[in-house]
Structure 1
């Protein structure tokens, strides 16, 4: 499971930085030894599925049975997942957990991870959530009474 989520996030690791990717894998900091991609990835999938189910089965209004109605829910999903991915990692950044032991001085020093890298990870989470929402739309739209033809 960890390899799956790590691979779908690390297709853009150059965008959010190798150092942050190693931290999220649990490889670079003694403060964080578990793979964070699992929790973030599962949360992203659950949120995307919930938003898709809300669109196709809970809201399910005939007025939204078009491309712009579907696009509104895609945007809601994207914004929620951007905030979740960004804040999840930013919490560790502000808590001072992104550190490593310097080999020369044996002191703990900050990893070269910046707030821009964390913001870029939020964008990566958002892009993955958009893809997940599109996939969930293809899977579950067929049984909707009013929105089965949206967006395609």
Structure 2
């Protein structure tokens, strides 16, 4: 379960970066706030997946008597979201170099 969440976090960071730098790749959409918008979408995906995947798994495992509270799931989701931001930035540094319109977004190299 946690490996799945880790894979979702790492792979979605790569996919969101590839989408921004190569699929969208328009001069009018190459500003730093557009990059941030795509990043926030990535963080929302990671936050909700890391909240609901363990919650649903433990609800099914413990048949309604889940020993973890919603604050436990929230804390885990926030930590995963912080790591998702790190992976998003790392993948950005890897994939942005060959983009024709957004290679200097969010900051010049």
What's the TM-score once normalised by structure 1's chain length? 0.65
Q: Does 1:148 align with 2:103?
A: yes
Q: Which of these residues, 53, 56, 74, is aligned with residue 88 of structure 1?
A: 53
Shift of 1:117: 0.6
- If you compute each CA radius of gyration, which structure gives the higher value, 1 or 2? 1
Among 86, 94, 104, the alignment partner of 1:131 is 86
Equivalences, count: 106
Q: Report if the CA contact (8 A) 2:59-2:66 is conserved.
A: no
Counterpart check, 1:79 vs 2:44: yes
Calculate the aligned-residue CA RMSD, in Å: 1.7
Could you list the structure 1 runs, at least 4 aligned residues long, displaced by more than 4 angstroms after superposition: none
Residue number in structure 1 paired with 2:31: 66
Does structure 1 residue 115 correspond to structure 2 residue 70?
yes
Distance in 2 separating the partners of 1:87 and 1:47: 16
List alignment gaps of at least 5 residues for structure 2: none
Residue in 1 that maps onto 2:17:
52
Q: Which has the higher contact order (CA 8 A, sep 6+)?
A: 2
How far the C-alpha of 1:42 sits from its partner, in A, is 1.0
Residue 110 of structure 1 deviates from its aligned partner by 5.6
Taking structure 2 as the reference length, what is the TM-score of the superposition? Answer: 0.88
Aligned to 1:101: none
Cα offsets for 1:123-148 (capped at 9, x unmatched): 22211111100000001100001110
